[in-house]
């Protein structure tokens, strides 16, 4: 089975980017080990602190963030880091050529129930003009990403990654510690009968979402003429992995509860990397009003509504926004 290195070379990734990705993944392997030790390593449960977004930090949020930060800072390849768990950008090597953004642990609420969690990341070039502690260099649209992916800490530890030449999925071979290419060139089926949305928020949704989901729930008797199934992992990384593997539509739409938080998911750490993976696998990624990867971020912790998945299903969903039917 092909190794990660040879696939990256095959996809034309420059040597320094390959070395950076390998460094990042060394950190993820350490997180994978800590996660698998669970209660034995004392990594479960909450801390007493909150992150800048007012969310209580789990011990694993803090540990994973520290592991990635230390690994990347020491590598020399990275000029600065932005993380869901950091208030501001973290300056690294002023001579570094890359910027890395990450959600060190996605799906924190799943840690205590031994359910799916993961790390989501993206990499862009560091502009020459930037100072290492200048957050404005991170305010680039997702179209500028040179690599993105996630590591899923599930029954197997899996990596989904793209450098813009397709989306490939690898499995961590724990006997040698290498990621092996198990699912090359993943293609998301264009049609689906499966959706993922937190329906407990229905009363806060806007009309297009209410109408679209209402039509899915109507099944064979409704306008869509087929029965849909629903799944919700409560970790985007798990839901997107399922969609990449067998199709579906995943949504975290705009929520009327708090207009300052337009959707729960973060553009830099969650939406953009997943959008890149989805598009490279033939799927779509939209906010309801435009392509996620074209959103110009105004601040590093910005949130964005998300609709990702099977091409035809996302296109159908978007027609509800156009007509507001
Ligand atoms: O509480 P809800 O609505 O189930 O939210 C689940 C969503 O929140 C998230 O867990 C947020 O991620 P974090 O755990 O990194 O904060 C997403 O992964 C997931 O899709
Ligand atoms: Mg997350
Ligand atoms: Mg997180």
Residues in the ligand 1 pocket, defined by CB under 6 Å: 55, 84, 103, 106-108, 198, 234-236, 252, 264
The residue-averaged pLDDT of 105-130 equals 95
286 — pLDDT class (breaks 50, 70, 90): very high
Taking the centre of ligand 2 as the mean of its atom positions, its distance from the CA of residue 218, in whole angstroms, is: 31
**Residue 259 and residue 263: Cα distance in Å, rounded?**
9
Over residues 5-29, the pLDDT tens digits come to 999 999 999 999 999 999 999 999 9
| Helix orientation angle between 59-75 and 15-37, rounded to the nearest 10 degrees | 150
Over residues 260-278, the pLDDT tens digits come to 777 899 999 999 999 999 9
Taking the centre of ligand 1 as the mean of its atom positions, its distance from the CA of residue 308, in whole angstroms, is: 15
The answer, yes or no, to whether residue 324 has pLDDT greater than 60, is no
Do 4-183 and 194-323 share a fold?
no
* Most ligand 1 atoms within 8 A of CB, residue of 234, 243, 271 to mutate: 234
Nearest CA to ligand 1 atom 14: 107
CATH of domain 194-323: 3.40.190.80
Residues tagged in the binding site annotation for Mg(2+): 84, 103, 105-106, 270
**Residue 149 and residue 270: Cα distance in Å, rounded?**
10
Q: Which pair of structure tokens corresponds to residue 127?
A: 């502009």
- List, as ranges, residues with CB under 5 A of the ion ligand 3: 84, 103, 105-106
Nearest CA to ligand 1 atom 6: 234
* Cα separation values, 318 from 18, 42, 110, 194, 290, Å: 37, 45, 30, 16, 9
129 φ, ψ (degrees, to nearest 5): -75, -15
The answer, yes or no, to whether residue 179 has pLDDT greater than 60, is yes
Residue 322 burial (CB count, 10 A): 10
* Cα separation values, 298 from 99, 136, 267, Å: 17, 9, 10
Taking the centre of ligand 2 as the mean of its atom positions, its distance from the CA of residue 40, in whole angstroms, is: 24
Taking the centre of ligand 3 as the mean of its atom positions, its distance from the CA of residue 61, in whole angstroms, is: 6
Alpha helices in the chain (DSSP H): 4-10, 15-37, 59-75, 207-217, 236-246, 272-280, 311-323
Scan for tokens 């009309």, then name that residue. 207
The residue-averaged pLDDT of 94-123 equals 96
**Residue 75 and residue 98: Cα distance in Å, rounded?**
11
Scan for tokens 């899915």, then name that residue. 216
Nearest CA to ligand 1 atom 5: 234
HSE (side-chain half, CA atoms, 13 Å) at 226? 8
Cα Rg for the chain, rounded, in angstroms? 19
Over residues 183-230, the pLDDT tens digits come to 999 999 999 999 999 999 999 999 999 999 999 999 999 999 999 999
Q: Which atom, in ligand 1's list, is nearest to the CA of 232?
A: 4
| 72 neighbors 91 (Cβ within 8 angstroms) | no
| Helix orientation angle between 236-246 and 272-280, rounded to the nearest 10 degrees | 10
pLDDT for res 260: 75
* Homologous superfamily, domain 4-183: Fructose-1,6-Bisphosphatase, subunit A, domain 1 (3.30.540.10)
Q: For the residues of 40-59, what is the DSSP string, one character each?
A: GGT--SEEEEE-TTSPEEEH
User: Which listed ligand is nearest to 108 at the C-alpha?
Assistant: 1
Residues tagged in the binding site annotation: 84, 103, 105-109, 198, 264, 270
Taking the centre of ligand 1 as the mean of its atom positions, its distance from the CA of residue 256, in whole angstroms, is: 17
Taking the centre of ligand 1 as the mean of its atom positions, its distance from the CA of residue 232, in whole angstroms, is: 10
Domain boundaries, the chain: 4-183, 194-323
Q: What is the mean pLDDT of the chain?
A: 95
Length of the chain: 325
What angle is formed at CA 275 by the lines to CA 218 and CA 122, rounded to 5 degrees?
150
**Residue 233 and residue 157: Cα distance in Å, rounded?**
16
Residue 125 burial (CB count, 10 A): 15
By percentage, how much of the chain surpasses pLDDT 90? 87
Nearest CA to ligand 1 atom 10: 107
pLDDT for res 40: 87
Q: Which atom, in ligand 1's list, is nearest to the CA of 198?
A: 3
- Report which of 232, 247, 255 is spatially closest to residue 306, judged by C-alpha positions: 255
Taking the centre of ligand 2 as the mean of its atom positions, its distance from the CA of residue 250, in whole angstroms, is: 14
pLDDT for res 313: 98
Over residues 61-82, the pLDDT tens digits come to 999 999 999 999 999 999 999 9
pLDDT for res 41: 77
The answer, yes or no, to whether residue 90 has pLDDT greater than 60, is yes
**Residue 155 and residue 300: Cα distance in Å, rounded?**
32
């Amino acid at each position: 089975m092909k190794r990660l290195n040879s696939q990256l070379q095959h996809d034309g990734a420059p040597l320094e980017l390959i070395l950076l990705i390998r460094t990042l993944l060394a950190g993820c392997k350490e997180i994978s080990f800590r996660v698998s030790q669970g209660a034995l390593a004392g990594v479960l449960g909450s801390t007493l602190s909150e992150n800048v977004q007012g969310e209580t930090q789990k011990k694993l949020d803090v540990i994973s963030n520290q592991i990635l930060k230390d690994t990347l800072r020491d590598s020399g390849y990275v000029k600065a880091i932005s993380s869901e768990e950091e208030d501001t950008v973290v300056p690294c090597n002023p001579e570094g050529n890359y910027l890395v953004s990450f959600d060190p642990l996605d799906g924190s609420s799943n840690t205590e129930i031994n359910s799916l969690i993961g790390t989501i990341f993206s990499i862009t070039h560091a502009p020459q003009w930037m100072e290492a502690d200048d957050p404005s260099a991170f305010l680039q649209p997702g179209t500028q990403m040179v690599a993105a992916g996630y590591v899923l800490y599930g029954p197997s530890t899996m990596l989904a990654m793209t450098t813009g030449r397709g989306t490939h999925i690898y499995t961590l071979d724990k006997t040698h510690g290498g990621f092996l290419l198990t699912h090359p060139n993943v293609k998301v089926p264009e049609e689906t009968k499966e959706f993922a949305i937190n329906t407990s928020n229905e009363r806060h949704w806007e009309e297009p979402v209410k109408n679209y989901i209402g039509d899915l729930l109507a099944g064979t008797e409704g306008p869509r003429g087929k029965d849909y199934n629903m799944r919700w992992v409560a970790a985007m990384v798990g839901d997107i992995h399922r969609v990449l593997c067998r199709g579906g539509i995943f949504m975290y739409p705009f929520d009327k509860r708090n207009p300052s938080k337009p959707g729960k998911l973060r553009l830099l750490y969650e939406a953009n990397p997943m959008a890149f993976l989805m598009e490279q696998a033939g799927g779509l990624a939209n906010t309801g009003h435009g392509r996620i990867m074209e959103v110009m971020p105004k601040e590093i912790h910005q949130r964005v509504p998300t609709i990702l998945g099977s091409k035809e299903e996302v296109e159908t969903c978007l027609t509800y926004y156009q007509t507001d039917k």
